[in-house]
Amino acid sequence: MSGLFIIIGVLALAAGLIIVAIAIRNRGDGENPKATAMLIGGMMLTTFGLLLTIFPIVYAAGDPPSLDAEPAR
């Protein structure tokens, strides 16, 4: 299941970066609302893809929590 998350995350990350690149190229003087919306959406999609890719990797690399451990002081 985590392999599926990584694949979808990488695809979302790539799509977001492509959208950001297109929005920056078409931005012009900064008064184009479509380019601004594409820039915001591309950044959101890039962040979502990054999080979707990184969380399964970090979860698999970490140790499971122990309920018998003493609380930190």
Q: How far apart are CA 13 and CA 17, in angstroms?
A: 6
Nearest CA among 37, 3, 42 for reference residue 20? 42
Q: Has residue 15 got a pLDDT over 90? A: yes
User: pLDDT tier at 30 (50, 70, 90 boundaries)?
Assistant: confident
- The residue ranking higher by pLDDT, 19 or 31, is 19
pLDDT at position 4: 92
Q: How far apart are CA 55 and CA 26, in angstroms?
A: 33
Residues in the chain: 73
pLDDT at position 72: 67
Q: Has residue 37 got a pLDDT over 70? A: yes
Question: What SS3 class is residue 54?
Answer: helix
